[in-house]
Amino acid sequence: MGVALNPILFLPGLYITFGEELILLRLDGYAKTDVGRRRAHNEDFLGDLLLRADSRHLYGPEKMQERGQLFALADGMGGHAHGEVASEMVVTSLFQRYYNMPDASDLAANLTGAVSASNRDVYTEGLKNSGGFMGTTLTLALFIGNRAVIGNIGDSRTYLFRQAMLSQITHDHSLVQEQVDQGILTISQAEKSPIRNYITRAIGQEEEVEVDYFEVLLQPGDLFLLCSDGLYGQVRASEITELLSTTISLEEAARQLIDLVNERGGPDNISLLLVRVIEVGETSSALLSAASITVGLKGQIREITQPSIRANLAARNGNLPPNPPPSLDPTSEIFATKVLPVASNPASNLKPNQRRSKKLFWFAVGVGLVALGIIIVALLLVFSLVLLT
In a domain, 389, yes or no: no
| Better-predicted residue by pLDDT, 361 or 262 | 262
Q: How far is CA 59 from CA 51, 65, 103, in A?
A: 11, 10, 15
Whether 50 shows a pLDDT value over 60: the answer reads: yes
pLDDT at 355: 36
Whether 323 shows a pLDDT value over 70: the answer reads: no
In a domain, 11, yes or no: yes
In a domain, 371, yes or no: no
- Number of domains making up the chain: 1
Q: Determine the Cα–Cα distance for residues 335 and 315; give it in Å rounded to an integer.
A: 16
Tens-place pLDDT, residues 325-366? 333 232 223 333 333 232 333 232 233 333 344 445 444 444
Structural domain boundaries, residue 54: 3-358
CA angle 19, 24, 30 (to 5 degrees): 150
In a domain, 154, yes or no: yes
Rounded-to-5 percentages of helix, strand, coil across the chain: 40, 25, 40
Tens-place pLDDT, residues 172-209? 999 988 888 899 988 888 888 888 778 999 999 999 99
Three-state secondary-structure class, residue 87: helix
Find the mean pLDDT for residues 52-74: 84
Find the mean pLDDT for residues 249-273: 97
Least confident among 7-21, 108-122, 145-159 = 7-21
Residue 335 is part of a domain; what is its CATH number?
A: 3.60.40.10
In a domain, 321, yes or no: yes
| Better-predicted residue by pLDDT, 238 or 131 | 238
Average pLDDT of the chain, as a whole number = 76
pLDDT at 333: 33
In a domain, 368, yes or no: no
pTM here is 0.74
Whether 134 shows a pLDDT value over 70: the answer reads: yes
Least confident among 119-128, 209-218, 276-285, 314-323 = 314-323
Residue 94: pLDDT band by 50, 70, 90 thresholds? very high
In a domain, 79, yes or no: yes
Three-state secondary-structure class, residue 43: coil
- Pick the closest to residue 190 from 298, 102, 316 (CA basis): 316
Whether 14 shows a pLDDT value over 80: the answer reads: no
